Amino acid sequence: MTRSLLALGALCLLSACGAEAPADSTVTRTDSAGVKIIVNSRPDTTLSWTLDEVDVLRDSVGEPWLFTRVAPSRVLTDRAGRTYVLDTDQTVRRFARDGRYERSFGRKGGAPGEMEFALALMQQGDSLAVYDAGRQVLVRWGPELDAINDVALRGAFENVGRLAFRVGGVWVEKSTSDSTGQTTALYGDTLPGAPLMRVVNGKPKQLSACGGQVGLILPSFFSPEIHWETAGARMLANVGPAYDLRLYEGPRLIASVRRNLPPRAPTLDDLGRLYPEGLKLQAGPRIACTIPLSELQEKIGVADIMPFVHGVVLLSDGTMWVQRSLRDESPTLDVFGSDGTYAGTVSGFGLPLGLLPNGELLVSREDPDTGGFVIVRMTVRK
């Protein structure tokens, strides 16, 4: 089982794959100490690829399966074309090649095969594993999906934000805080050691709300974050605010893919896209209030530069997908080919969740009637 079936020998990413395509004058390519630097200067362009919806994942009677939350880190596919989704009720759902629901496993609890606060679904060897942040363990199932013993996360792996396995190693994200602020670091092998990248944000601000009944501690809005996703032996990552996609093979940086876009400072309108009616708080049946945007900007503040990237995905065919929109906006995605060339921008669905063996793309789309999400199977013609 892999997020998107990876055949390392077939990957063409950043290497010659048959005849060379005509040179693109909007792309410059250089090499810096073995790291490929690909800079795209083309302005925003509608993606020319054809994407057609095939169907959505459905329940056993044929109705669309509605999810309350979907993300690439919560979805896997296997060689048989089946899809596994970590649902918010601490259960993993499996869907067949035709997208029809097959079975569920896992549940809320503290025994093997049970989860308290599951964050990510991953492969560990020939087993399936879930990172349970609530119990600080990897919950595991064998090849036949029978529950096997948990693996406790201790020492340097305790309280990690997220982890993902690869052959011969593991990627780990971990945050630490002190009196000066918070540092988030991404490691490509073992802990401790030098991180692949890190971001340091200043000390969070305090805000009293609801007549002093609620206290908030928040970093500046639009502070830099690390976004990353994996495909087999490779990982795509970005640390804001720059538009600089870092491609790693194991712990080794092999490419930097960039777009030349003008930076800007965040505005009150950007904050309004996060909280259209202000920040609404509910701390009990009798404690509720809304903090106006002007107060959030004044007392919490915003970062100096608006981040370009709000999420990334690397697929097994080498394509790179970047979410440009904020999490509460209609999704806007930049797409890069396997050679790092900007192919265009598309909207209407979320970041890809995986790639099936038949080439179909899995994406999420909001269901307007329920506010939930469906997972869509799409064909892609380039």
Across the range 285-307, mean pLDDT stands at 93
Give the residue among 75, 110, 104, 76 at the shortest CA–CA distance from 92.
104
Structure-block tokens of residue 296: 């959030």
Q: How confident is the model over 35-78, as pLDDT tens digits?
A: 999 999 999 999 999 999 999 999 999 999 999 989 999 999 99
Least confident of 12-26, 109-123, 170-184, 185-199: 12-26
CA distance 12 to 315: 12
What is the tens place of the pLDDT at every residue in 86-113? 999 999 999 999 999 999 999 999 999 9
Place 192 in a pLDDT band, splitting at 50, 70 and 90: low
Mean pLDDT (the chain) is 90
Question: Which helix (DSSP H) or strand (DSSP E) does residue 271 occupy?
Answer: helix 268-274
Predicted confidence band of residue 191 (pLDDT cuts 50, 70, 90):
low
* Residue carrying the six token digits 């692949």: 196
Which pTM was predicted? Answer: 0.89
Largest Cα separation within the chain, whole Å, is 68
Whether 359 shows a pLDDT value over 70: the answer reads: yes
Assess contact for 173 and 226: CB atoms under 8 A.
yes
CA 380/CA 280 separation, integer angstroms: 40
Residue count (the chain): 382
Tally Cβ neighbours within 10 Å of residue 162. Answer: 17
